[in-house]
Amino acid sequence: QVQLVESGGGLVQAGGSLRLSCAASGRSFSSYAMGWFRQAPGKEREFVAAIAWSGGITYYADSVKGRFTISRDNAKNTVYLQMNSLKPEDTAVYYCAAKGGKVTTTSSLYDYWGQGTQVTVSS
């Protein structure tokens, strides 16, 4: 069992930056692939970024490529999402998720989810 707690969300102006953190409980964090997803009001949840257990493989949605960076610190059981050059369309609740095995961009394959953190980007 893995419990995930996101933090770092907030209100920021367009062009600004935020860093989200996701702290995981459990001893097997380093064996889990981790992902960030987001859901805007009235829209379906969408993939943002994912990272393999080793940190050696990362994936990004086209909409955030070059602006967001996912990373992890297995010693701290934490995964991060550095978000730069934020746009109003990045406004959403951001969720982190964990799964055993290979990293994937498919949300339905993730086993554990956090409660989410709100990110609001004003124009």
The pLDDT of residue 30: 86
For 51-64, b/e burial (b = at least 16 CB within 10 A) is: bbbeeeeebbbeeb
pLDDT over 90 at 1, yes or no: no
Look at 31 and 104; give whichever has higher pLDDT. Answer: 104
pLDDT at 7: 98
Checking if the pLDDT of 27 tops 80, the result is no
Asked if residues 121 and 68 have their Cβ atoms less than 8 Å apart, the reply is no
Does position 98 have pLDDT exceeding 80, yes or no?
yes
- For all residues of the chain together, what is the average pLDDT? 96
